[in-house]
């Protein structure tokens, strides 16, 4: 046990120049900066999870601390847990894409780049073909047009496809019908 702690401390020296996350930091940008910093300093990837866990604050830190000891060593699991806890997911980007933009974001070039970035984060075209992209757009509209209680239920379960959303909506409506 002592050897592992000493080893962690020795490796932590490589990342000590990375500033601790603040409540004002964009968590996604912070994680990306952490990854670049870890690569540039040569930090062994086996230590990324524990180093990130030591640097994050607030809900991100709570997400890290809620993981099991085994999961807390897996960087991808740590990253996913943090982003999930902070509600940074495709639905979040869809809402940002559709939301009214502030005055700083309305300059044409800035606005166009922002919209492209948000669309890419929402639908991730690199991992989707045309049919999957169309399904994602229809899924969003399907969820928007559902009755409010059904909509909440379906969104809470975060379906990835229209078929999943349909099954959730029908199951919810069937359960509602059985209770007068």
Query: What pLDDT is attached to residue 15?
Result: 46
List pLDDT tens digits, range 35-87: 999 999 999 999 999 999 999 999 999 999 999 999 999 999 999 999 989 98
DSSP string, 7-69: HHHHHHTTTTTSPPP-TTS-HHHHHHHHHHHHHHHT--GGGHHHHHHHH--HHHHHHHHTS-T
Range from 81-85, 128-132, 135-139, 152-156 carrying the lowest mean pLDDT: 128-132
Domains and CATH numbers, the chain: 2-85 (no CATH), 90-177 (1.10.4020.10)
**Model-wide pTM > 0.75:** no
Q: Tokens representing 144?
A: 């928007």
Averaged pLDDT for residues 115-134: 79
């Amino acid at each position: 046990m002592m050897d592992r702690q000493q080893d962690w401390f020795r490796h932590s020296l490589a990342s000590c120049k990375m500033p601790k996350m603040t409540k004002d930091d964009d968590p996604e940008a912070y994680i990306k900066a952490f990854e670049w910093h870890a690569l540039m300093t040569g930090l062994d990837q086996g230590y990324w999870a524990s180093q990130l866990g030591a640097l994050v604050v607030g809900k991100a830190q709570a997400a890290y601390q809620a993981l099991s000891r085994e999961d807390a060593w897996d960087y991808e699991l740590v990253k996913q847990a943090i982003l999930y806890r902070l509600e940074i997911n495709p639905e979040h980007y869809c809402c940002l894409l559709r939301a009214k933009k502030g005055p700083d974001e309305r300059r044409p070039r800035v606005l166009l780049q922002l919209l492209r970035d948000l669309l890419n984060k929402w639908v991730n075209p690199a991992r989707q073909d045309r049919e999957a992209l169309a399904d994602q757009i229809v899924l969003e509209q399907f969820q928007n047009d559902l009755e409010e209680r059904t909509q909440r239920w379906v969104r809470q379960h975060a379906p990835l496809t229209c078929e999943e959303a349909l099954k959730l909506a029908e199951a919810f409506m069937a359960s509602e019908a059985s209770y007068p």
